[in-house]
Structures are given as C-alpha cells and as structure tokens.
Chain A
Amino acid sequence: MGEELKVIVFALGKEEYGIEVDKVRTIERLSPITRVPKTASFIKGVINLRGIVVPVIDLRGRFNLSETEHTEHSRIIVVAVADLEVGFIVDSANDVIDIDTDMIDSPPEIVGGIKAKYLRGIAKLGEGRLLIMLNLSEVLNKNEIIQLEQLEV
C-alpha cells in the first residue's frame, strides 16, 4: 500500500484531472478578470481574490487545447506552489477523492494532446475512470512561458 492522497478532481473537456488538495488554496466561481497586456494568450489576466491580486491562466490554453466559452460550471482553482500563486480556469470542479499513490502509473508520452512532462502520472479509479495527475511545477514553469512569448513576438 502506498500513501493516501487527497485530490481535487476537475474536468477539461471529457478528461478528468487531479491536483493534490494541499496545493489548492481555494476554488472560486468565475469573477471579472482584468486583462494584462503583452502576456501569453493563455494568461487571461488578474482577479481580486479577497484583496490579493492573483493571475489567472486558462488551463485549456496552457495545454494547447482549443479554448471554449466559459459556462456556469467553469471554476477558478487557485493553487500555490512554492512562492507562486496562480488561478486555473477549468470547465468544472466538483469532487474530492482519496487515491492510493500505488495506483498512479507513469504517464505515456501524450495524453489527450498534453505533453507527458506536465503530468505526474495517471491514476486508475476503477469503472474505467482515469484521473490525470498534474505536475504543477512544470505547468507553472516560467522559462517555458518566456520562450512562448518570444515565439509569439
């Protein structure tokens, strides 16, 4: 038996993703986002999170998936990794589950169009449900964003 891990489950399209609960600060409904000029297109801007200005990125855009209109199910998951605090826009977030670290397999090269380095692994939940565990520090890697920005310019 490996360790128990509590994860927040959210959806992007048909895929289900997981983030460890201790990395999640809060989950919010969409609030007005202030655009920040001259940033990568997936950086949607900043929001006021109870007096603190937090940048928000669209996770679909970050993974080069097609961006969709936000719905009433859309949520902002605010995560804190090291000294970074960033909000992710996801299609929906509605579950907290316990998984066993033994159930997490290392990811194949590409899952649903997402490069393996953004992934920590894939957890099998039974009934054919798969949960994609994110590697947050890679998702928030700033060097890559700088490269992206240079490509766009």
Chain B
Amino acid sequence: MDMNAYLSMFIDESNDHLQSLNENLLQLESDPDDLSIVQSIFRSAHTLKGMSATMGFEDLAALTHEMENVLDLVRNSKLKMDSFIFDTLFKGLDALEAMVQDIVEGGTGKADVTSIVASLQTIMKSDYKSGDASPTTVPAAAAAPSISTNAALLDQFQSSILLQSMESGHQPFFIQVSLEETCVLKAARAYMVFDLLERNGEIVKSDPAVQDLEQEKFDRSFSIFTISSLKESELMEQIGNISEIATVQVTPLDPESLAALTTAPAAAAVETISAPAAAPAAASPVKQAAEPAKKSPQASGGAVARTIRVDIDRLDTLMNLFSELLIDRVRLEQLASEVKRNDLTETVEHMARVSSDLQNIVLKLRMVPVDSVFNRFPRMIRDLAKSLDKKIELVITGADTELDRTVIDEIGDPLVHLLRNSVDHGIETIADRIAAGKPETGTIHLRAYHSGNHVFIEVEEDGNGINQEKVLKIAIKNGVLTEEAGRNLTPDEINMLIFAPGFSTADKISDISGRGVGLDVVKTKITSLGGNVTVDSVYGRGTKFSVQLPLTLSIISAMLIKLGSEKYAIPLTSIVETGIVKRADILQVHGNQMIQFRNSIIPLVSLSRVLESPDYDESTEVETEIIVIRKGEKWAAIMVDEFIGQSEIVLKTLGQYLTHIHAISGATILGDGQVALIIDPNALIK
C-alpha cells in the first residue's frame, strides 16, 4: 500500500481528532461527571490510534493507546477524573500534536513519550489495585490455561479490537493448529486454514506472522486470533477437514480470558504495539474490524457535518473562471436585447438567474467560520491561567460567524496577542480580585459578529482596566510623545497609546507578554488587512478590544464612476455621501480648493488632476458631482465626471510589475471585460 497517498488525509484527520480531543477534554474538565463527553473523547482517541497504527506511526499509536486505556477506565466508571489525570492527558495531547507536526514536516513522528506513558500507566495501576478488576482475572486465567502460555502474543491494541467485536455481538476464537509431520506443503496448508477463516470472518492476529507462514518460516504449528461467524464445533470440523492437519484446538474467547491475555503485556505495550504496524497484512483487517465498531456510536451521536477538503488554489481558479463567465453573460444579454427573439431572451434570463445563484455559492465557498481560529483558544487560556495561578473562564460567542479564508489565515496571531494580553495584564490575581470585591474567576468574552460589510471580533475582560495615568507616564518616559502633547489628549486617545510601538506597561517582563512588542504588531497587522482595532476601558472594571475586519478581501462593494472615457471604482466603505457642488461655491484657501459641507470646511480634490485624466476636466463645468470620502476623522470631497452606480467588484492586484502606484489600490474587471482601477481614498486625504 502506498502510504504517501493517504498521508495528507491522515494529517488532516489527525488534526481534526486532536482538536476535538482538546475541546472535549476542556469540556470534561468543567463537567467531569458527564460520561457522554468521555465517550466522544474515547471515540476520537480510538480512531486516531487506528489511523496511526495503519500508517505505521508506532509511537503515536502507542501513546494514544495508553491514553485510551485510561479513558476506558473512566468511561466504565472505574476511575474518577482528577486534575492529575487531566494534566497528564493534556500533556499526552501536546506530545501527540508535536508528533503529528513532525509528520507534517516530513519527519517520522517519533518522539520519546516514556515519561508520559509511565504516568498514564501509574494512573492505570493505581486503579487496578483499588478496583474490582483483579478478582475477574483469576477465573479467566483458570478458564483458559492453554492460552496463558501464549498470552504475550496479544497486545492491548489487538485485544481491544477483540473486545469490541464481543461488544457488538461477534465471537472471537483462539485457534491452535498443528500440521502432520509428513506434511510437505506447509505454507499451502496454512493458507487453506487462513482462507477458510477469512471467508467466515476476520483474522486479527496470527503467530507466526502471515509473511512467515507464507514463506514456511514456521515449525509445524501456528496459532490465530480470529473473529468468526462460525460456531466452535463448526470451526473444529471444517479446519479438521483440511488434509494433513494433525490437531486443531479452538478456544472461544470471553472478556475475562481476554483481560487475562492483555494484563500481562500491558507494561510492554509500547514495544508490542509495533506488531500490527510492522505487519501490514495484519493491519488491514484490524482497520476493517475497527470500522463497524466506530460507526455505530457515531450514528447515535447526532448528524455530523459532511465535508470535503479542497485546495484553496482551486477555489481561486473557480472564482477566476466564474468572473470570465460573468463577462460573457453581460455580452449575451446585450446580444439578446439586440436580436429581440423571445426564446433567446428567456434562455439568457434564466442563465442570468442561475449564474447569480452560482456567484453566491462561489463566494460562500471561500468563507470559513471563525471557529477554526477560535477553537485553539480555550486550551491556550486554560494553560496560561494555570501558569499564572489565575482563575479564568473564556466565553466564546458567535464562533459560527464566517469570514473569508484569506482573512481567517491572518487574524490568528493578532488574536493570540490580544488574549494573552488580557490574561496577563487584564485579569487580576485571585487575591486582587477578592480584594476588589470581584468574583474569584475572571471572565474573558470572545465575541464575533457580522455588521454590515464587516465582521467584529471583541475581546472583553472584567479585569483591571487601563490605568490612564500610568499609560501616559510611560508613554512620555518611552518617548512615544512629549509631556506637552500628553496634556491635550482625550481619554480615548490615551487608551490608544498602548498600541504605540515600543510601549509596555508591565512592571516586570513576563513570559506571556510585556516585552513591549505585541499590541503595536496587532494594530499593524489588522490595519494591513483593511481593518481597525479600538480599545474601550474603564479603570478597575475591565477592558474591551474591538477588532473590525472586512468580510472578505476578494470582493468589495464599490461605487463605479466615470472620468471622461475612463471608469474607476471607489470602495463604498470610505464613502460618506454623494452630491453636487456649484463652481461658484468652491472656496480658495491658500491656493487649495475647499467646500462647505455640513457646517465644516473640507478640502476638494480634483480626481482628474490626481489621475492625469486625458479627456476630462471639471473646471469647464458649472456643476460638478462630488463624492465625500472619509479616512478616520478626516473628510474630503473628490470631484468626478459621472456616477455609474454601486456594484460588487472582485479585487485583483496589478501584479508584481506595477507596485505602489499613487492613489490606486488595485483593479477589477467590469461586466464588459474591461479593467477598471480601484481608487485608494486614503491616499487622497492628507
């Protein structure tokens, strides 16, 4: 089997399972008695183990296996979760993540997990002594004395499959076969036995391994663990019918005898687990056997979202092809209106409707719920809070809010910065909180919601709040601004100082934040995404960071305008309103044109002059259309020839050859196939 073909699938699925393990463990930590959570954790761990064993990542399978054992005890109420077990499981998860990461980077996924395995096993053993499991092993060992000699053959991984098959109503058997001394074709006889068993069930394990049997690398006898639909007597009879078989011994297995088989090698599980991976022939039936067992609990666990993974480049290609189609649609509509044939017009209209539905879907394909970023935060906050000895609850709302994939990829780091900042500087220590009359546990709200063409993400905590006096003092000390300038600042402006480069109010540098890098990086990053970040704080009551992001970086609403023969697009987000100004109303201030707008005087920009328009000059007109634009608090009016209308446009870059063109932020392709440039209003306001 060519494993490489499955590797990317394995990596994707492993990440999914690790993520769900993480989430469920966190949920379990807050509600340790909910056994249904343990069930789903167990399922994820089990699938992960099966996958990694099949792919030959032995260490990964071994560690998952140990974790699964502990979870199994919890699931069967033989073990109570406590903080030591949680910590060990989390450590195990981290190790698993590191191994998967290693595989992603082309490594072998090997890691030294002995210490974690050891602590997992201590958890197991302490239970074995105290629990009631030991009495059951005694009769089991007595019931199957012949097996116990070969006990070391079966590792826990295989035994758990046998156990599951019992739970789902199948009967596993242990079969020992010895051939006649005179037998010549030993491999052929062994094959016939295998063939018989495989026709009636699954072979879980054989000793010697299948390859050795095929190559006659065995003496006269071999043993098989199998799950069969036949009865004990039928098996005896049918195997006995094969020629040159001397003796057949069939022992049905039950949970007790199985437990007896597996307790012995438990300590050596790490070594023996390599067996299924080393023998691919044995591994494939293993997986099949695990499959039905996995499916039934999933079916009862509610509807699972059905998804496939698609390369983002293919989506981009789809988008480009689609815009081609749109252009042809406009042409067809024009032609149809000229030809004036009813059936043609109807067809074109229908095509127009279908293509606008198609447009919605193509755009939606690129949207991803912010959950894919948010989901790693609960764990991060938990760990941070533990290391700082604070009690913090993270409340996430609106995780299903969707954002364009390109934005999603970029906002992870800024949000990590903001959250770390909240944990470190925002939420106080438990003692401080009690002294301030607040509940012991601090709360951080992480919210996402849509508003207009934007998505807002808020990080709000009920901690310290910003000490404005201190902020101002440090800003002056660090040379962010002069004392003079500091006196004239509004409270909001003082709050914004924390985003200044090189600013940090932390008295001591901690591991988590406070190196003076962070918030300015956050602001730079978010601004570069076309977004904005603001802070709102009440000293002693808490702080709220609010990040505003564009819904998508690839499609924006824009106003199309004309300058003579040329068409341009202006992003709607910067437009305040449109209007008309009379030449007589234009004021001259220091040689600059200004107009009166809503009781204030704002600059008037000649777009035709900025863009060196070849065939339009507004100075010949008596009345000129204007668009009032805004950049933060600053306003300006720009003169244009004609409004075409509002439209959703697809953003395109001008390519690597044309970069940093004044007042132009990109290009778009219009319905008639022509390229229109997109004006960057920020460059027009000084």
B662 touching A50 by the CB < 8 A rule? no
Complex interface residues of chain A between 105 and 121 (CB less than 8 A to chain B): none
Contacts of A38 in B (CB 8 A): 611-612, 661-663
B675 touching A48 by the CB < 8 A rule? yes
Contacts of A50 in B (CB 8 A): 320, 324
**CB nearest to B613 among chain A residues:** A37
Contacts of B324 in A (CB 8 A): 50-51
| Smallest CB separation, B542 vs chain A (Å) | 47
A84 touching B674 by the CB < 8 A rule? no
Complex interface residues of chain B between 645 and 666 (CB less than 8 A to chain A): 652-658, 661-664
Q: Which of B612, B614, B667, B673 contacts A46 (CB 8 A)?
A: B667
The answer to whether the Cβ of B185 comes within 8 Å of any Cβ in the partner chain is no
The answer to whether the Cβ of B669 comes within 8 Å of any Cβ in the partner chain is yes
**CB nearest to A57 among chain B residues:** B657
Contacts of A142 in B (CB 8 A): 657
The answer to whether the Cβ of A65 comes within 8 Å of any Cβ in the partner chain is no
| Smallest CB separation, B666 vs chain A (Å) | 8
Q: Which of B320, B614, B655, B673 contacts A85 (CB 8 A)?
A: B655
The answer to whether the Cβ of B676 comes within 8 Å of any Cβ in the partner chain is yes
| Smallest CB separation, A30 vs chain B (Å) | 14
Complex alpha-carbon distance, A86 and B662, angstroms: 20
B657 touching A53 by the CB < 8 A rule? no
The answer to whether the Cβ of A55 comes within 8 Å of any Cβ in the partner chain is yes
The answer to whether the Cβ of A19 comes within 8 Å of any Cβ in the partner chain is no
| Smallest CB separation, A143 vs chain B (Å) | 12
The answer to whether the Cβ of A68 comes within 8 Å of any Cβ in the partner chain is no
**CB nearest to B666 among chain A residues:** A53
**CB nearest to A86 among chain B residues:** B657
Contacts of A46 in B (CB 8 A): 654, 658, 667, 675, 677
A35 touching B566 by the CB < 8 A rule? yes
Complex interface residues of chain A between 42 and 58 (CB less than 8 A to chain B): 43, 45-48, 50-55
Q: Which of B566, B658, B676, B677 has the most CB of A within 10 A?
A: B658
Complex alpha-carbon distance, A34 and B324, angstroms: 18
A85 touching B675 by the CB < 8 A rule? no
**CB nearest to B672 among chain A residues:** A32
Contacts of A101 in B (CB 8 A): none
The answer to whether the Cβ of B310 comes within 8 Å of any Cβ in the partner chain is no
Contacts of A39 in B (CB 8 A): 658, 661
Contacts of B566 in A (CB 8 A): 34-35
Complex interface residues of chain B between 349 and 367 (CB less than 8 A to chain A): none
| Smallest CB separation, A26 vs chain B (Å) | 15
A85 touching B658 by the CB < 8 A rule? no
Q: Which of B612, B614, B667, B676 has the most CB of A within 10 A?
A: B667
A34 touching B667 by the CB < 8 A rule? yes
The answer to whether the Cβ of B321 comes within 8 Å of any Cβ in the partner chain is yes
Complex alpha-carbon distance, A97 and B324, angstroms: 33
| Smallest CB separation, B627 vs chain A (Å) | 18
Contact with A along B572-614 (1 / 0, CB 8 A): 0000000000000000000000000000000000000011101
Complex interface residues of chain B between 193 and 217 (CB less than 8 A to chain A): none
Contacts of A52 in B (CB 8 A): 320, 652
Contacts of A125 in B (CB 8 A): none
**CB nearest to A54 among chain B residues:** B655
Contacts of A95 in B (CB 8 A): none
Q: Which of A32, A54, A83, A85 contacts B674 (CB 8 A)?
A: A32
**CB nearest to B316 among chain A residues:** A51
A36 touching B658 by the CB < 8 A rule? yes
Complex alpha-carbon distance, A39 and B610, angstroms: 12
The answer to whether the Cβ of A27 comes within 8 Å of any Cβ in the partner chain is no
Contacts of A83 in B (CB 8 A): 656
Complex alpha-carbon distance, A84 and B614, angstroms: 28
| Smallest CB separation, B299 vs chain A (Å) | 44
**CB nearest to A35 among chain B residues:** B566
Q: Which of B658, B674, B676 contacts A55 (CB 8 A)?
A: B658
Q: A34-B667, A39-B658, A48-B669 known; A53 and B614 CB under 8 Å?
A: no
Contacts of B612 in A (CB 8 A): 37-38
Complex alpha-carbon distance, A38 and B677, angstroms: 13
The answer to whether the Cβ of B165 comes within 8 Å of any Cβ in the partner chain is no
Q: Which of A37, A45, A48 contacts B611 (CB 8 A)?
A: A37
Q: A34-B566, A37-B612 known; A48 and B654 CB under 8 Å?
A: no
The answer to whether the Cβ of A21 comes within 8 Å of any Cβ in the partner chain is no
The answer to whether the Cβ of A140 comes within 8 Å of any Cβ in the partner chain is yes
**CB nearest to A82 among chain B residues:** B656
Q: Which of A34, A51, A53, A84 has the most CB of B within 10 A?
A: A51
Complex alpha-carbon distance, A142 and B655, angstroms: 13
A140 touching B657 by the CB < 8 A rule? yes
Q: Which of A35, A36, A46, A86 has the most CB of B within 10 A?
A: A46
A51 touching B661 by the CB < 8 A rule? no
Contacts of A84 in B (CB 8 A): 655-657
The answer to whether the Cβ of B20 comes within 8 Å of any Cβ in the partner chain is no
Q: Which of B320, B610, B654, B669 contacts A36 (CB 8 A)?
A: B654
Q: A37-B611, A48-B673 known; A43 and B658 CB under 8 Å?
A: yes
Contacts of A36 in B (CB 8 A): 654, 658, 661, 664, 677
Q: What residues make up the interface of A, taking CB atoms closer than 8 Å to B?
A: 32, 34-39, 43, 45-48, 50-55, 83-86, 140, 142
Closest A-B pairs by Cβ, 5 of them:
A51-B320, A34-B675, A37-B611, A53-B652, A53-B667
What are 23 A-B residue pairs whose CB atoms fall within 8 Å in the complex?
A: A32-B674, A34-B667, A34-B677, A36-B654, A36-B658, A37-B611, A37-B612, A37-B661, A37-B662, A43-B658, A46-B654, A46-B667, A48-B669, A48-B675, A50-B320, A51-B320, A51-B321, A53-B653, A53-B667, A54-B655, A55-B657, A83-B656, A85-B656
- Known contacts A46-B654, A54-B655, A55-B657; 6 additional CB pairs below 8 A are A37-B611, A48-B673, A50-B324, A51-B321, A55-B655, A84-B656
